[in-house]
């Protein structure tokens, strides 16, 4: 594993698309299903039967590629893990909407580690201690999480950006669904909102099911099961140094 800076995709005419951004797959997979559910008024059972990655293709991945993205019908949903500085210019200009989800870095690094071990294409067989050290030293794919999250945080007040926290989805899903619906321009009455929220609850519960994911990868506070005292102290020190004066805060357990 090493630092990989993906080539900047050349996409134009992005209006009406709603890219969804996050640093890494852990946590953002749940968001993509919730966003699809809210924007399309879909049923959770429908999501379980479809290939969600075809409905929300990854911008920088060679498969399915930009041709598939260009063929999507409006409103089009695109997923990416690219830093803000690598976004297509249309997004910088505010012509498309961006939903960014940040997750507390301790849970994220644990989930990211499990993600790397689960994929044959990654084939990571090192220890968690080594993986965490790479994370703290900005030596994983997509570069520095600390820079990534701060770049988007600086643009949280942009009219076309919705900055969300993974932990808030577990604490107050109703409010998050309302935020998403409002941001996406989805109008729904109280009954429809309640139905949407119930469907989203089902997705969150599935994500946190320890039988469905290794060590309940979607749980908030799962880092406490694997961090040692010394690792936690080191992580806190690095976090404080690299986040500097940034006023972004996280909940590390609920």
Two structure tokens written together for 125: 């067989």
- Residue pLDDT, tens place only, 90-148: 777 777 889 999 999 999 999 889 888 877 666 788 899 999 999 999 998 888 999 99
The secondary element (H helix, E strand) that includes residue 206 is helix 190-207
Residue 171: count of CB within 10 angstroms of its CB: 13
- % of the chain residues with pLDDT over 90: 33
Instruction: Please give the pLDDT value at position 47.
Output: 58
Residue of 81, 148, 170, 199 marked active site: 81
CB 37 within 8 A of CB 44: yes
Instruction: Please give the pLDDT value at position 6.
Output: 42
CATH of domain 19-243: 3.40.50.300
Tell me phi and psi for residue 57, to 5 degrees: -65, 155
Q: Let me know if 116 is a catalytic residue.
A: no
Instruction: Please give the pLDDT value at position 250.
Output: 96
Mean per-residue pLDDT, 226-242: 97
- Residue pLDDT, tens place only, 26-79: 566 778 878 887 887 656 566 555 666 677 777 777 666 677 777 777 778 888
This prediction's pTM: 0.82
- The distance between the two most distant Cα atoms of the chain, rounded to a whole number of Å, is 51
Mean per-residue pLDDT, 10-29: 56
Domain residue limits, the chain: 19-243
Residue 9 DSSP code = P
How many Å apart are CA 87 and CA 44, to the nearest integer?
Answer: 30
The secondary element (H helix, E strand) that includes residue 18 is strand 17-22
Instruction: Please give the pLDDT value at position 53.
Output: 67
Rg of the chain over CA atoms, in angstroms? Answer: 18
């Amino acid at each position: 594993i090493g630092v990989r800076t993906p080539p900047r995709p050349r996409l134009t005419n992005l209006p009406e698309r709603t890219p969804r951004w996050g640093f890494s797959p852990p946590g953002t997979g749940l968001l993509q299903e919730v966003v699809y559910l809210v924007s399309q008024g879909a049923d959770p059972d429908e999501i379980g039967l479809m290939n969600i990655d075809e409905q929300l293709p990854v911008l920088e991945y060679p498969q399915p590629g930009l041709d598939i993205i260009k063929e999507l019908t409006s409103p089009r949903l695109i997923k990416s893990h690219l830093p803000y500085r690598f976004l297509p210019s249309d997004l910088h200009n505010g012509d498309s909407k961006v939903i960014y989800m940040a997750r507390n870095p301790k849970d994220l690094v644990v989930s990211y580690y499990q993600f790397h071990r689960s994929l044959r294409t990654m084939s990571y067989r090192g220890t968690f201690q080594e993986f965490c050290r790479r994370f703290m030293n900005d030596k994983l794919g997509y570069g520095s999480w600390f820079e990534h999250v701060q770049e988007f945080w600086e643009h949280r007040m942009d009219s076309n950006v919705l900055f969300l926290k993974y932990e808030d989805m577990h604490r107050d899903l109703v409010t998050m669904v309302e935020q998403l619906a409002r941001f996406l321009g989805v109008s729904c009455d109280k009954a429809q909102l309640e139905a949407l929220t119930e469907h989203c609850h089902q997705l969150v519960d599935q994500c946190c099911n320890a039988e469905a994911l290794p060590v309940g990868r979607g749980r908030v506070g799962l880092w406490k099961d694997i961090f040692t005292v010394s690792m936690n102290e080191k992580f806190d020190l690095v976090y404080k140094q690299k986040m500097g004066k940034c006023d972004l805060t996280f909940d590390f357990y609920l």
